[in-house]
Amino acid sequence: MTNHSNTFATTSSKFRLDEIDTKILEILQKNGRITNVQLSYEIGLSPAPTLERVKKLESFGIIESYHALVNAQKLGLSLVVFLEISFDLRYANEYTNFVQSLCNIPEAVEIYSLTGESDFLLKVYVDDIFAYQKFIVDKILSIPYLKDVKSNIVLQTIKRSFSLPIHKNEGAF
């Protein structure tokens, strides 16, 4: 019988995810504040080996950090916009500065480099459409070497998940 465990490759070694590691990751993605005792109960191990496994997942960088999920609307950030941004390639030597300018925008909570028509996708949170207009004028259009901007305003969030799919016994990562 072939072992098809997941393998997480690091620069120095490989880490195999077994069924218990997979279960730990699934549970912690849903509840990062679960106690070690409760986690150990849910996976069927005693607390000491459970904590050892969690620490190993952390040390290998599989678990990067733990966060609080904050409700944007309750903070008054009721407008979510996805911005497609294009960089003017005539200024390729300014690419790093351009990217840093994007990263310095606090309203942009996620920034992705893309293939396709646009070079970047930004997820932006602002108070309302008036704040968005001010944001575009003051923060986006003032970025040097900007070629194009397209706005996609979110009407409704259909699915929002922060849990990654953990592949069980399907080969290496």
Per residue in 115-173, pLDDT (tens digit) is: 999 999 999 999 999 999 999 999 999 999 999 999 999 999 999 998 999 876 543 43
Residue with tokens 């000491």: 48
Question: Domain 73-153 class?
Answer: alpha beta
- State the average pLDDT over residues 59-88: 95
Question: CATH 3.30.70.920 occupies which residues in the chain?
Answer: 73-153
Amino acid at 40: S
The whole-angstrom separation of Cα 149 and Cα 67 is 31
7 has a pLDDT exceeding 50? no
pLDDT class for 16, splitting at 50, 70, 90? confident
pLDDT of residue 14: 59
The whole-angstrom separation of Cα 107 and Cα 141 is 15
Tell me the CATH number for domain 9-59.
1.10.10.10
Q: What is the pLDDT of residues 93-112, one digit of tens each?
A: 999 999 999 999 999 999 99
Paired tokens of 1 = 């019988």
pLDDT of residue 15: 65
- State the average pLDDT over residues 8-29: 78
The whole-angstrom separation of Cα 168 and Cα 19 is 7
Residue 105 has φ and ψ, to the nearest 5°, of -90, 110
Question: CATH 1.10.10.10 occupies which residues in the chain?
Answer: 9-59
pTM: predicted TM-score of the whole model, two decimal places? 0.81
pLDDT of residue 172: 41
